[in-house]
Structure 1
Amino acid sequence: DAVRAYAGGRLTAAMLPARLLRRDDLPVSAITGKLDRPALRALADAALTAAPADAPTDEPADPVERVVRRVCTRLLGAAPAPDTDFLAAGGNSIPAMRLVAALRAELGRHVDTRDVLAGRTPAALAARLRAAAPADADGLTTGNPPTLSPPQRRLWFVDQLAPSSAPYNIAVAHRLRGPLHTGALGAALRAVATRHDVLRWRIPQTAGVPYAVCEEPTDVAVPVVDLTGRADAEAELAGMLAAGAAHAFDLATGPPWQVTVYRLGPDEHVLAMTMHHAVFDGWSEAVLYADLATGYAHAVAGTSPTLPPLSASYADYAVWRDERDRRQGPADLTWWAEHLRGVPTVLDLPRDRPRPTVQTYAGAEAAVTLTATADRAVRDLAERRGSTVAAVLLAGFAELLRRLTGGDDHVVGAIVADRRLAAFDDVVGFFIDTVPVRLRTGTDGTTGGTGGVGFAELVDRCAAELHEATAHPGAPLEKLVETLGVGRDTSRAPLVQVLFNVLNFTAPRLTLTGLTAEALPVPKPGSPFDITVYVVQRDGRCGVDVVYNPDLFDADRIDALLADLADLVGALAADPHTPADAVAVALPRPTVRVAALGAMTVAAAAPAPVAPVPTGPDELTETEELIAGIWRQVLERDRVGVADNFFDIGGHSLALAAVHARLTAATGRSITMLDLFRHPTVRALAASLDGAADRPELARAALRAAARRGRTRRTPPPRRPHQP
């Protein structure tokens, strides 16, 4: 009781000790004589499977509830009572997804995260499961050869578009104190790469079509950089960590990750790892650390660090995903087309500099932590609404956007983890999707409503929107962009320019035998969007981290935006039933120094900032004939007009990559992918290649044609069959 009372005022509910065990001694390593953390974890796992002294000893008679309680115990770290509240016990969207996957696998019943958040307790969830329909067969096959998933193909295309940037790198670093065995570390890393073959993938391409190749297991290079005795070692280390995070991977030649050890002294090192997002995500970090710890423990003990094979591989996910999208894709695409009908497709937040004509991927960071009072109000509101902290913060962000822009209809992106089968829990890979989330703050949930809606209702809307977005995964973002007829613009990402990351991963710990590890901050290497908002937990309180593009925003503006968000969400959560627009919070912001910013608009309603549609004589030149022929082949069309826009006649990103590869091979010229975006018609591209793109008469014709397209593209065009 004394320990729990001491911890209760210092830790969140999720971090409170679930069980206390008194031991005469702690396990130590026979090699180093120091605490054996893997053995300690095994003791903790064993303790969780045993009934606590103060817990009811009677098992529930209902077999469904027994399964629910057993899975909750594993995910929450404590054996729940029948009426234990899942959210109050530390559950959020990540444990909810894992709980859903495990229950589907074990019980064969249809269940989703809405059931978890609505049921809240093991007894209530068990009742919902008993009434649920049988789940469809998961359709998972194993032993598949390397196969790219749709998210991987999307990242490959971005990599081709901006090969010298690194916005999709994930970099981590840990300061290790104690005797580091670099040989054992290398052996453990090889074991990890052997188990998770996606870390050995390369992504070359043939005629613009990417594919995966898996290399045989080899030693993982672990260079050691010696900084011992240098007066400015910490400053050098910080610079090297930043440079490592910004490493530009060549996906075609691989490997897609790198490891470096920095020696600061005999018993002090820093282990730094950078992974390309195409083979890694936030969920993968804990998997990597656990397997690395197991392999390292075996290696330092002199035994083989070989890890057991996985029940499913990333290639199995890619094949399963393709089949699921083939089955669900048409229905999901229809749902999205209706859900996003009339949606504004450009969000230009107030910024400090004109938007460059070609999107840049520079990155800077900022952060804010909610006050204790605001944190408690947010958590209490989430619990009362049966929602998550992330949904509350998203609702607060939606209200901030309304106040910044004056509009009540906004689109932001959300990150969704696609690990819907329990077999993918322990697989390293890229299981992430970006989905558009429509934030409507009108009184009736649409646009143009009058009066005000209470913040509690906004929270419910955002929670429902997130659920609906995750319930229709069969239509990737690229297909949505194509179906909605979103205009392509080299200056910004299509449809989603602001990302709100609702996946609140608990920062995993790296534990290596004989060493103490302390996570070090590593700057993010770039920003793939104008702004990315991360929901975080810091010092036991909710917070928000932001990665933004400094080519658009000054640091002062972003700091002010975060301060506004923290103040606003705290005030709204404390008074959730008053109309949100009536909750007064002073929002001092720097004066907007760029004209006509701050509102969502339909991208096609204004001419694009390029000259894509020149017109000229009807007779085709040799270059135009070449380009038109390649278009016909790639798009499988009998006819292509010289003024047809590539993206209006079935073109999409991967088709553009195929055109780029064939045109480069046919002309022997160095042509950037951006050139094809800037000049998306046969005649415009030919004029550019032939050196006539800057002719005034063609430029004037381009503007007239672009204006005509803008007038006719204000509503989405009829759906077209997707061209692979």
Structure 2
Amino acid sequence: MEQSATDLTAVLTGIVGEQLGGQEVDPDDDFYALGGDSLIALRVVSAVQERGIAMTLKDLLFHPTVRELAAHLATQAPAPAAAPAPAAERDALLDPSDRILVPVGVAAALPASALQVGIIYLCETSGDPELYHSIIGWETVAAFDERLFREALAELCDRHAALRTSFDLGTYSESVQLQWEKVEPPLTVERIGDDNPAKGHDNIRDWSREGLTLPIDWSRAPLFRCHVVAQPDSFHVAIASHHAIVDGWSYGRLIVDLLELYAAKLRGENAELPRPPATGEHDFIVAERELLASGEAADFWHGQADSEPLLFSRGQFHGAANAVAGVEFTVPGVVLDGMRATARDAGVSLKSLALAAHARALSAWTGRDDVVSGVVVNTRPERPGADLMVGLYLNTVPLRLTDLGAPLPELARRAHASERDGAPYRAFPLAQIESRLGRPPFDVTFNFMNFHVYEDLDGTQGLRTRDWWVKGKPSFPFRVDFEVDGAEAGSRVSVAYDPALLDEARVREYARHFEAALTAAGGTA
């Protein structure tokens, strides 16, 4: 049904306000300046589409105020109803000669994504079992009932196909991911009588250190494990999973779902969780293949990456780095609040402002006025419930900024514009960018993390969590993580680097420049 711009303004104001946590939204407020990010944007798009209104993520990126968006959408045709692809259609992505080889017990067989294949290749060639093998741990303050926890874990596996996925890299004409109908929940339990939480913490960390050294068998699902150390009044949990099946947001989604399922069982109730879309992985593979055939996408990223390497000369670095060393600093609340105010005034997201500060720090650190940094971006399909999906739905793409002596708000607007222009191509495989360039397109990466999915735990009845920790190793030689409102440590910056390529003093110099740029961005210098 066609709606006027006036009608749409009222509808969109309500949707945007709801998805931003109940904020009051003026029609001329910028969505991203109000705190919107890529995951919240997907929720807005989904909610609008469910009203029968044609809208894409690109529409919100280019028309970030309600008034602008309403005027634009009023000219669009109604959105067609989206029907989920049946299993036969999902399997049709495979060659017919491959489909007959799919074993009994597989619910769906799909080509592996380019990023999955690239990660697995790096892990196999590096021989490092810790590479892209992540563990998240925490303490749950509640009674531990092993039977109920196993039931919750089994329901979690039924709910998310990624937890039932294995890979076959040789049987078929291409690398394939197999989503099995059922898997045995990989739970081990250790019980100790000591009620000192520190003892439980030590035991779960001991398990994690041993677990990270175990090799991965890609051919056997599940590719994750769960360990519990149960004490009289609480229990510690660690979930170890490979990055080939789970990204950072997905990790949070899994933990929230698991604890919601378990808490409901403790209360003798059924958890009423919204269902994630059944065809999310299929939709992602289709979108990736379309982009692979796009010369426009290839040209865009080549233009972003085609600059001299920032840190390492050609041939100095290739393959997987051993980024085992790190430097950290906290971002005080007063600085973060100031950055939010600066971002609102500039009409950009907090991420864009932090990215501008990162580029300014790189310039001061290297003496370059033309820098390229890898930036981690969300690649989830634009469909209802995309934020509920569990899988590997991210990419790291090159972003180039020049004239870095400009004021930080102006740099942030340029960073936002570059991300906006690259959004239609965000799932274009990094390996293709590197192949055309003939070298890695960047040697520094920036990851802005605001995992507000964990806020869903605030409403979980019957348990609470504390003592969160995470361990993982990416393949990049110099990685900067900006974490907003973390579960334990608040807001902080973590820099992981390969000590064989960079010494600590040099890395600390970058950290000082970045801390100063963030302070300036927050108006507290």
Report the TM-score, using the length of structure 2 for normalisation: 0.82
Give the aligned partner of residue 430 of structure 1. 392
Give SS of 2:452's match. coil
Asked if structure 2 preserves the Cα contact closer than 8 Å seen for 1:391 and 1:459, the reply is: yes
Hey, what's the Cα distance between the residues in 1 that align with 2:217 and 2:311? 32
Give the aligned partner of residue 217 of structure 1. 182
Give the aligned partner of residue 473 of structure 2. 526
Give the aligned partner of residue 98 of structure 2. none
Asked if structure 1 preserves the Cα contact closer than 8 Å seen for 2:328 and 2:494, the reply is: yes
Deviations 1:86-145 (A, max 9, x none): 45654334323432344345444344367358534x444323432457779979634323
Hey, what's the Cα distance between the residues in 1 that align with 2:317 and 2:35? 43
Distance 1:82 1:390, change over 3 A: closer
Asked if structure 1 preserves the Cα contact closer than 8 Å seen for 2:186 and 2:224, the reply is: no
Q: Structure 1: which amino acid aligns with 2:465?
A: A
Give SS of 1:438's match. strand
Asked if structure 1 preserves the Cα contact closer than 8 Å seen for 2:195 and 2:233, the reply is: no
Does residue 409 (structure 1) correspond to residue 370 (structure 2)? The answer is: yes
Alignment of 1:49-448 (within 5 A): 62-78=6-22, 80-83=24-27, 85=29, 86-87=31-32, 89-104=34-49, 106-112=51-57, 115=60, 119-120=64-65, 122-131=66-75, 141-143=85-87, 144=90, 145-147=108-110, 148-206=112-170, 209-229=174-194, 233=199, 234-244=201-211, 247-263=214-230, 265-302=231-268, 310-325=276-291, 329-340=294-305, 342-345=306-309, 347-348=311-312, 359-371=320-332, 374-423=335-384, 424-441=386-403
Q: Structure 1: which amino acid aligns with 2:48?
A: L
Asked if structure 2 preserves the Cα contact closer than 8 Å seen for 1:416 and 1:503, the reply is: no
- C-alpha displacement at 1:478, in angstroms? 1.2
Hey, what's the Cα distance between the residues in 2 that align with 1:79 and 1:395? 26
Say which is worse superposed, 242-251 or 513-522, in terms of deviation: 242-251
Distance 1:525 1:557, change over 3 A: same
Q: Structure 1: which amino acid aligns with 2:246?
A: F
Give the aligned partner of residue 463 of structure 2. 515
Q: Structure 2: which amino acid aligns with 1:404?
A: W
Hey, what's the Cα distance between the residues in 1 that align with 2:50 and 2:24? 21
Give SS of 1:411's match. strand
Q: Structure 2: which amino acid aligns with 1:437?
A: L
Cα RMSD after superposing both structures: 3.5
Asked if structure 2 preserves the Cα contact closer than 8 Å seen for 1:110 and 1:135, the reply is: yes
Asked if structure 1 preserves the Cα contact closer than 8 Å seen for 2:34 and 2:344, the reply is: no
Asked if structure 1 preserves the Cα contact closer than 8 Å seen for 2:12 and 2:48, the reply is: yes
Give the aligned partner of residue 462 of structure 1. 415
Distance 1:357 1:383, change over 3 A: closer
Distance 1:109 1:520, change over 3 A: same
- C-alpha displacement at 1:304, in angstroms? 6.7
Deviations 1:554-583 (A, max 9, x none): 4454344323211133236649xxxxxxxx
Hey, what's the Cα distance between the residues in 2 that align with 1:532 and 1:142? 40
Q: Structure 2: which amino acid aligns with 1:473?
A: R
Which runs of 5 or more residues in structure 2 are unaligned? 91-107
Hey, what's the Cα distance between the residues in 2 that align with 1:505 and 1:211? 30
Say which is worse superposed, 455-464 or 500-509, in terms of deviation: 500-509
Give the aligned partner of residue 451 of structure 2. 505
Give SS of 1:258's match. strand
- C-alpha displacement at 1:454, in angstroms? 3.0
Q: Structure 2: which amino acid aligns with 1:505?
A: F
Asked if structure 1 preserves the Cα contact closer than 8 Å seen for 2:434 and 2:441, the reply is: yes
Give SS of 1:401's match. helix
Hey, what's the Cα distance between the residues in 2 that align with 1:280 and 1:373? 33
Does residue 552 (structure 1) correspond to residue 501 (structure 2)? The answer is: yes
- Identity between Structure 1 and Structure 2 (%): 23
Asked if structure 2 preserves the Cα contact closer than 8 Å seen for 1:201 and 1:255, the reply is: yes
Hey, what's the Cα distance between the residues in 1 that align with 2:27 and 2:451? 25
Asked if structure 2 preserves the Cα contact closer than 8 Å seen for 1:332 and 1:475, the reply is: yes
- C-alpha displacement at 1:381, in angstroms? 2.1
Distance 1:357 1:378, change over 3 A: closer
Say which is worse superposed, 466-475 or 399-408, in terms of deviation: 466-475
Deviations 1:33-85 (A, max 9, x none): xxxxxxxxxxxxxxxxxxxxxxxxxxx99442343234324422216344484
Hey, what's the Cα distance between the residues in 2 that align with 1:299 and 1:359? 43
Structure with the higher fraction of residues in strand conformation: 2
Asked if structure 1 preserves the Cα contact closer than 8 Å seen for 2:342 and 2:521, the reply is: no
Say which is worse superposed, 267-276 or 494-503, in terms of deviation: 494-503
Structure whose CA Rg is larger: 1
Give SS of 1:273's match. strand
Which runs of 5 or more residues in structure 1 are unaligned? 1-59, 443-451, 488-493, 576-584, 586-724
Distance 1:477 1:471, change over 3 A: same
Q: Structure 1: which amino acid aligns with 2:261?
A: G
Task: State the structure with bigger RCO (CA 8 A, min sep 6), 1 or 2.
Answer: 2
Task: Name the count of aligned residue pairs.
Answer: 492
Give SS of 2:43's match. helix
Give the aligned partner of residue 434 of structure 2. 481
Asked if structure 2 preserves the Cα contact closer than 8 Å seen for 1:151 and 1:431, the reply is: no
- C-alpha displacement at 1:315, in angstroms? 3.4
Q: Structure 1: which amino acid aligns with 2:392?
A: F
Hey, what's the Cα distance between the residues in 2 that align with 1:212 and 1:359? 23
Hey, what's the Cα distance between the residues in 1 that align with 2:318 and 2:431? 21
Hey, what's the Cα distance between the residues in 2 that align with 1:322 and 1:558? 35
Hey, what's the Cα distance between the residues in 2 that align with 1:94 and 1:457? 25
Give the aligned partner of residue 52 of structure 1. none
Distance 1:299 1:112, change over 3 A: closer
Hey, what's the Cα distance between the residues in 1 that align with 2:453 and 2:269? 29
- C-alpha displacement at 1:158, in angstroms? 1.7
Distance 1:118 1:381, change over 3 A: farther
Q: Structure 2: which amino acid aligns with 1:435?
A: V
Asked if structure 2 preserves the Cα contact closer than 8 Å seen for 1:177 and 1:517, the reply is: yes
Hey, what's the Cα distance between the residues in 1 that align with 2:430 and 2:77? 30
Report the TM-score, using the length of structure 1 for normalisation: 0.61
- C-alpha displacement at 1:247, in angstroms? 4.9
Hey, what's the Cα distance between the residues in 2 that align with 1:455 and 1:373? 18
Distance 1:378 1:557, change over 3 A: same
Hey, what's the Cα distance between the residues in 1 that align with 2:364 and 2:271? 56
Give the aligned partner of residue 691 of structure 1. none
- C-alpha displacement at 1:213, in angstroms? 2.0
Does residue 567 (structure 1) correspond to residue 516 (structure 2)? The answer is: yes
Alignment of 1:637-648 (within 5 A): none
Distance 1:248 1:391, change over 3 A: farther
Deviations 1:370-402 (A, max 9, x none): 345543442222111111122112112212222
Hey, what's the Cα distance between the residues in 2 that align with 1:395 and 1:90? 17
Hey, what's the Cα distance between the residues in 2 that align with 1:533 and 1:474? 21
Hey, what's the Cα distance between the residues in 1 that align with 2:521 and 2:267? 55
Give SS of 1:422's match. coil
Asked if structure 2 preserves the Cα contact closer than 8 Å seen for 1:346 and 1:495, the reply is: no
Q: Structure 2: which amino acid aligns with 1:96?
A: A
